[in-house]
């Protein structure tokens, strides 16, 4: 690989980038991706000195350049001084160049820099080969430098690189050129060589398709080069020789000059269908001419070496090209084919092409192309022509002419030949190659472009032709050329191909004589379409006022196709949200005043108008473009959505739906509802497209935002049916739940506003309830949240509760109770609490499993959910007919979980205690409740009670003391002191406790006498009488307590 030695010596008269003091310049030297820096010259000012040398590896001297950037070293950020660019191909002569080069800053000349540059080339330059090994597998072509235009080069074409770069392969040519595959799928057989392990410095040299045993072979005659070539091939270990041959070789020779032919040592490899079987003759074929045999062997040896690019310099030094051209004149077809294969290999290098042109290979290649042979032979000849088309010498003119004729004649023979034709035409299209028959190249390229598979190479060839000004008028005279360029610019999905095609159109439009042809052949369509499909292009067009210009242009145009293209461009510009700010009143009136037609030519314009109006209303706000929301434009806008001549459920009807949705969103619903309701119902009921039905649902949602329209809309014929229809489950493959969710929102909005009478509200609930129950089975979280919200509102309508419970409401609520969303759970328990307020359905609720659902929700982390559960239990327990069933289904356990385990909220625990007291009204429940932990729960409640809980606590104490199973637990020391604050309220309960003999001592030890002393002084006779009864019962039950009390009194 070439090495570039660059020494940055010094600078003079540089730009001063530092305000105070002297600047500290340094250089950054870049070649390709390699960047190196010089040292900083402190206080170097405008005349710094560096004198540093750098070495770079150059991949392609023709393309790369030296970029020297000079900066001022600062603490925070370096200041830019200037830049110098020098192409590497200026030093291809190999001499040391010491010169001052200009430094530019922007567009101004700011000083010079002294560089000393030397480009060193390797001794043996590798060249890419056209072929991999073997004649039967014609190989790859080396690439030819093409042209490419960048956006910053000011429109000046420059070299694109080799074919390896054109095809998108990175790296150098030598490393990246890949072999062409022939039509044969067979690979060359390789021999195992014991000496290959020692060849580490090179890749293994491909072996021939035959066995070469030792160095006993020598050729007589004119073609002695075979000895030289065969001696360079890898040697193989000598196998055991046949006995008769051993006998002959062991016989001493009578003369030292006697040569051993050894031709029987060359045996072909067994390959089916390979013509190499006929290349090496057998000794048994005594009819073969020895001269022909030697020619074949020589051609075979040269072809084998030519397949290895490393050996090309050696072959050229041996003057192999004249030998091959001489062998090509042989009448032996095998020898000719081998020579053509070798020439094809050698034409992959520049030196080989030069030698072939110098020795006049054209006539031989023409004759070889006419020889009867297989596909591989013809491909080798055409590939050699393709490679020779790279050169730009005087000798190449006739070769190029023959190459063009051959490619045009054979380009449809096979895919590989078609690729050769593309490559050859690309070579001939480069403007730096002066080819007089450029008109023929253009016609051939246009003809080939219709079937060309390599669209990238085709687009680059067209750009190369249009980059030369002298070719543009010639291209404009070929109408079919515009067809090919338009196809490349519009239909391709590759941005590189599209960019090349657009650059070609730009080059043609730069020439005044070609502009009319561009318009006549529809190139304006491709240009507008491509500009408008690019987001930056749309924004740039809008910023320079393209909308107003296009609107004015549309009024002047008569051609429907061109007018359609203008409207399409306007529509694509309006598709950018940032571009609508450039819309003025005149442009909006042009769109809104458009009249639709059923004409096929104007059909697409209607589509673009609908799209543009929809984008305008969607992207603008009323405060920024007030003229868009002027009610005077509403009838014109409604004309576009009420037009019914479009294809049903087509793209136009969908755009009508988008526009109508934005109209209902931006304009007052009261002004839009009456004229547009019929169209909304058509979209929602008759359209089979889900997206249009979703838009219809959005329209209804926008209209129902006005409370005054609730009753008129629901009483309108068909609105409720459409709402139910839109509420249906989406298909199993659809993941769009927006439509049913929005319908559920409509139902909630209508019921929350309470603008409907009771009869209409019940009709709405009865109509949508079965569908909502089915929606709960789908399992989507958003849909389930909407269903729970609707059920919570349905539960507030008392006449509907019984019918809903009988039709599966409890089962649906049970499904919704399994959701993880706190909002959904809260809505579910709210529905439960609403339903439990109705005594007529409480029994049915319990039988359908409401207790189980509430018990599962009792452990929810949300306090609102737990409180709603407590309220529902309290409501369910108000009826004595239900309390036994509630306890049997575990209601007490759920209440204890809420009040004693999960909740710390006083209100929630108070609701739980009320529900427990309701459950205590049945004596049959007491044993079960005691087993479920009722005394323990009462103790916890008593210890954490507040003053407002005292009445409930007293009632609970008295209620528990009525039953024998709970008295012993109430007499604990931890309960009585806590209850002593409400002693006046629980005296009846204490008297109940004293009916058990074992209860009196714990009560007296807990301080009962002291509390009774205070009550004995009460003014109420009933209280004093109750105190006397308590003392009597206590002293009768415990003599020890009586004695202790008497002792305290006497003391």
CB 226 within 8 A of CB 294: yes
Is the pLDDT reported for residue 219 higher than 70? no
Pick the range with the lowest mean pLDDT from 162-176, 279-293, 868-882. 162-176
Place of tokens 């499909």: 533
CB 970 within 8 A of CB 938: yes
* 3-class DSSP string for 26-95: EEEEEECCEEEECCCCCCCCCCCEEEEEEEEECCCCCCCEEEEEEEECCCCCCEEEEEEEEEHHHHCCCC
Is the pLDDT reported for residue 1041 higher than 60? no
pLDDT score recorded for residue 145 = 32
Is the pLDDT reported for residue 658 higher than 90? yes
Rounded CA gap, 422 and 453, in Å?
9
Best CATH choice for the domain 757-932 from the list 1.25.10.10, 3.40.50.1820, 1.20.1270.360, 3.40.50.10470 = 1.25.10.10
CATH fold for domain 2-121? Immunoglobulin-like (2.60.40)
Closest CA to 232 of 272, 264, 267, 202: 202
3-state secondary structure of 272: coil
Q: What is the largest CA-CA distance in the chain?
A: 163
Q: Which CATH class is domain 293-453?
A: mainly alpha
CB 442 within 8 A of CB 508: no
pLDDT score recorded for residue 541 = 79
- Phi, psi angles (nearest 5°) of residue 118: -145, 125
Dihedral sign of CA atoms 416, 420, 421, 426 in order: positive
CB 266 within 8 A of CB 301: no
Pairing of strands 97-105, 49-57: unpaired
Is the pLDDT reported for residue 776 higher than 90? no
Section 781-805 average pLDDT: 86
What are the boundaries of each domain within the chain? 2-121, 293-453, 757-932, 947-1050
Q: Enumerate the β-bridge partners of residue 49.
A: 10
Q: Which two tokens stand for residue 16?
A: 């001063």
More confident residue, 432 or 330: 330
Section 339-368 average pLDDT: 84
Rounded CA gap, 851 and 883, in Å?
12
pLDDT score recorded for residue 660 = 94
Q: Which two tokens stand for residue 671?
A: 């002004």
Rounded CA gap, 89 and 902, in Å?
84
pLDDT score recorded for residue 964 = 61
Closest CA to 840 of 809, 868, 889, 878: 878
Asked, colleague to colleague, whether 2-121 and 293-453 share their fold, the answer is no
Rounded CA gap, 745 and 741, in Å?
6
Element (H, E) at 538: helix 535-543
pLDDT in tens, 909-934: 777 777 777 777 776 666 776 766 66
More confident residue, 111 or 154: 111
Cα radius of gyration rounded to whole Å, the chain: 50
Rounded CA gap, 529 and 521, in Å?
15
More confident residue, 844 or 975: 844
Pick the range with the lowest mean pLDDT from 194-208, 533-547, 862-876, 959-973. 194-208
More confident residue, 937 or 333: 333
pLDDT in tens, 145-169: 333 322 333 333 333 333 323 223 2
pLDDT score recorded for residue 241 = 42
DSSP 573-609: HHTSGGGGGG--HHHHHHHHT------TTTHHHHHHH
Place of tokens 């090496």: 280
Pick the range with the lowest mean pLDDT from 239-248, 258-267, 906-915. 258-267
Rounded CA gap, 683 and 695, in Å?
8
Confidence of residue 364 (pLDDT cuts 50, 70, 90): confident
Pick the range with the lowest mean pLDDT from 78-87, 186-195, 322-331. 186-195
Q: Which two tokens stand for residue 845?
A: 């609720």
pLDDT score recorded for residue 919 = 74
Q: What percent of the chain has pLDDT over 70?
A: 68
Other beta carbons within 10 Å of 3: 13
CB 80 within 8 A of CB 87: no
Measured between its terminal Cα atoms, the distance across the chain in Å is 122
Other beta carbons within 10 Å of 776: 21
Section 19-26 average pLDDT: 89
Confidence of residue 1008 (pLDDT cuts 50, 70, 90): low
In whole numbers, what is the pLDDT of the chain averaged over residues? 72
Closest CA to 923 of 894, 957, 962, 952: 962
Q: Enumerate the β-bridge partners of residue 161.
A: 146
Most confident of 65-69, 179-183, 779-783, 852-856: 65-69
Q: Which two tokens stand for residue 260?
A: 């051993």
pLDDT score recorded for residue 357 = 83
């Amino acid at each position: 690989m070439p090495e570039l030695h660059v020494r940055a010596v010094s600078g003079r008269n540089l730009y001063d980038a530092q305000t105070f003091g002297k600047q500290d310049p340094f250089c950054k030297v870049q070649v390709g991706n390699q960047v190196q820096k010089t040292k900083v010259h402190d206080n170097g000012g405008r005349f710094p000195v560096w004198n540093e040398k750098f070495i770079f590896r150059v991949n392609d001297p023709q393309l790369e350049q030296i970029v020297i950037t000079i900066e001022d070293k600062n603490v925070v950020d370096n200041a830019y001084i200037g830049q110098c660019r020098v192409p590497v191909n200026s030093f291809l002569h190999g001499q040391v160049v010491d010169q001052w080069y200009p430094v530019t800053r922007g567009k101004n000349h700011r000083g010079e820099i002294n560089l000393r540059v030397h480009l060193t080339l390797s001794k043996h330059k590798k060249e890419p080969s056209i072929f991999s090994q073997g004649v039967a597998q014609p190989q790859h072509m080396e690439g030819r430098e093409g042209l490419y235009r960048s956006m910053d080069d000011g429109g000046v074409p420059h070299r694109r690189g080799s074919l390896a770069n054109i095809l998108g392969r990175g790296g150098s040519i030598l490393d990246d050129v890949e072999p062409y595959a022939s039509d044969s799928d067979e690979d060359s057989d390789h021999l195992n060589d014991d000496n290959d392990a020692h060849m580490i410095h090179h890749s293994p040299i491909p072996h021939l398709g035959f066995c070469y045993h030792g160095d006993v072979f020598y050729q007589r005659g004119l073609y002695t080069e075979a000895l030289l070539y065969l001696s360079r091939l890898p040697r193989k270990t000598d196998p055991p020789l046949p006995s008769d041959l051993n006998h002959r070789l062991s016989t001493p020779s009578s003369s030292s000059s006697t040569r051993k032919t050894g031709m029987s040592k060359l045996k072909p490899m067994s390959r089916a269908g390979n013509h190499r079987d006929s290349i090496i003759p057998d000794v048994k074929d005594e009819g073969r001419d020895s001269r022909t045999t030697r020619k074949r062997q020589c051609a075979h040896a040269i072809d084998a070496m030519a397949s290895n690019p490393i050996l090309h310099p050696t072959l050229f030094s041996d003057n192999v090209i004249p030998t091959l051209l001489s062998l090509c004149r042989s009448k032996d077809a095998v020898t000719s084919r081998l020579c053509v294969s070798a020439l094809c290999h050698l034409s992959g290098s520049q030196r080989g092409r030069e030698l072939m042109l110098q020795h006049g290979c054209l006539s031989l290649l023409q004759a070889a192309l006419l020889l009867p042979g297989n596909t591989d032979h013809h491909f080798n000849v055409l590939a050699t022509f393709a490679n020779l088309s790279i050169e730009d010498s005087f000798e190449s003119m006739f070769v190029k002419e023959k190459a063009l004729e051959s490619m045009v004649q054979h380009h449809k023979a096979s895919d590989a030949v078609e690729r050769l034709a593309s490559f050859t035409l690309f070579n001939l299209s480069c403007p730096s190659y002066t080819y007089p028959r450029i008109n023929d190249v253009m016609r051939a390229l246009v003809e080939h472009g219709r079937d060309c598979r390599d669209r990238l190479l085709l687009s680059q060839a067209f750009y190369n032709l249009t980059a030369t000004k002298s070719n543009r008028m010639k291209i404009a005279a070929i109408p079919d050329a515009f067809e090919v360029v338009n196809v490349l610019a519009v239909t391709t999905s590759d941005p590189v191909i599209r960019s090349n095609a657009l650059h070609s159109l730009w080059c043609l439009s730069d020439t005044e004589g070609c502009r009319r042809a561009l318009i006549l052949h529809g190139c304006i369509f491709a240009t507008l379409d491509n500009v408008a499909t690019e987001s930056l292009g749309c924004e740039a067009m809008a910023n320079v006022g393209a909308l107003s210009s296009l609107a004015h242009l549309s009024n002047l145009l008569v051609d429907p196709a061109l007018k359609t293209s203008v409207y399409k461009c306007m529509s694509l510009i309006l598709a950018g949200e940032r571009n609508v700010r450039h819309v003025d009143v005149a442009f909006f009136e042009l769109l809104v005043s458009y009249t639709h037609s059923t004409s096929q030519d104007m059909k697409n314009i209607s589509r673009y108008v609908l799209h543009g109006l929809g984008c305008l209303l969607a992207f603008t706000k009323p405060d920024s473009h007030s003229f868009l929301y002027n009610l005077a434009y509403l009838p014109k806008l409604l004309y576009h959505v009420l037009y019914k001549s479009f294809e049903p459920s087509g793209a136009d009807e969908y755009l009508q739906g988008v526009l109508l949705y934005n109209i209902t969103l931006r304009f007052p619903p009261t002004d839009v509802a009456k004229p547009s309701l019929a169209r909304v119902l058509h979209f929602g009921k008759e359209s089979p497209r889900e997206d249009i039905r979703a838009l219809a649902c959005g329209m209804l949602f926008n209209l129902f935002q006005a409370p005054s329209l609730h009753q008129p809309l629901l009483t309108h014929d068909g609105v409720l049916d459409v709402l139910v229809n839109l509420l249906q489950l989406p298909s199993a493959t659809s993941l769009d739940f927006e439509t049913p969710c929005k319908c559920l929102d409509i139902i909630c909005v209508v019921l929350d506003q309470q603008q409907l009478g009771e009869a209409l509200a019940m009709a709405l609930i009865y109509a949508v309830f079965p569908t909502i129950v089915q929606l709960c089975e789908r399992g989507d979280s958003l849909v389930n949240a909407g269903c729970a919200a609707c059920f919570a509102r349905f539960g507030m309508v008392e006449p509907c509760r019984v019918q809903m419970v009988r039709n599966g409401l409890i089962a649906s609520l049970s499904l919704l109770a399994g959701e993880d969303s706190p909002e959904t759970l809260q809505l579910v328990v709210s529905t439960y609490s609403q339903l439990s307020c109705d005594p007529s359905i409480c029994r049915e609720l319990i039988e359908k499993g409401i207790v189980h659902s509430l018990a599962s929700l009792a452990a929810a982390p949300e306090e609102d959910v737990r409180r709603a559960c407590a309220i529902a239990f309290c409501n369910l327990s108000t009826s004595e007919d239900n309390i036994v069933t509630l306890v049997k289904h575990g209601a007490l356990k759920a209440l204890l979980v809420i009040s004693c385990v999960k909740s710390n909220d006083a209100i929630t625990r108070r609701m739980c205690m009320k529900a427990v007291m309701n459950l205590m009204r049945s004596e049959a429940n007491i044993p079960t409740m005691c087993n479920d932990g009722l005394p323990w729960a009462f103790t916890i409640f008593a210890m954490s009670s507040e003053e407002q809980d005292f009445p409930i606590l007293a009632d609970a104490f008295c209620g528990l003391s009525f039953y024998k199973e709970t008295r012993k637990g109430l007499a604990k020391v931890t309960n009585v002191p806590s209850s002593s604050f409400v002693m006046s309220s629980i005296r009846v309960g204490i008297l109940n406790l004293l009916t058990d003999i074992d209860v009196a001592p714990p009560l007296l030890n807990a301080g009962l006498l002291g509390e009774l002393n205070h009550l004995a002084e009460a003014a109420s006779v009933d209280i004093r009488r109750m105190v006397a009864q308590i003392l009597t019962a206590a002293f009768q039950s415990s003599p020890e307590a009586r004695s202790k009390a008497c002792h305290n009194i006497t003391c």
